[in-house]
Structure 1
């Protein structure tokens, strides 16, 4: 499974989200490749799912061919886990 963590510029907040996703996946025993990137590169990057802010979710939906899930608090592991679980349940 390939996951993208996306923010506006692909450096700060997407790296924090990536680290949270990595922690949650490890806790869940799920092996996946997690990368962080900016919104423009996300549109051309192959992946299975994208996690991003609610604002960027609206911009990405319809322009990418994969599900996009919002996360408001990137360091809130419970919220990140909930978003990942929603994706897994709808896969």
Structure 2
């Protein structure tokens, strides 16, 4: 599974989100490649799941990846809910 964590520049909130997502993935025992990228790169990288803020979520919706908006990038509970919803639907 490929997960993209997306923010405007690819090295601020996306890195925080990436660290949170990696903790969640490890706890769940799931194998995934988690990458922090900027919004422009996200549009051209093939992924299964995209985690981002609500503004970018609306811009990235409609592609082949499932897009989940995250309000608090450091919230393991919120990221875990998004990952769990993705895993249950796929």
What TM-score range do you get, normalising by the shorter chain? Answer: over 0.9
TM-score of the aligned structures, taking structure 1 as reference length:
0.95
User: Structure 2, unaligned stretches of length 5 or more?
Assistant: none
**Structure 1 residue ranges (4+ consecutive) displaced by more than 3 angstroms after TM superposition:** none
1:1-16 to structure 2, matched below 5 A, reads 1-16=1-16
Q: Note the C-alpha offset of 1:49.
A: 1.1
CA RMSD of aligned residues (A): 0.8
User: Structure 1, unaligned stretches of length 5 or more?
Assistant: none
2:78 is aligned with 1:79: yes
1:1-91 to structure 2, matched below 5 A, reads 1-62=1-62, 64-91=63-90
CA distance in 1, matches of 2:32, 2:60: 22
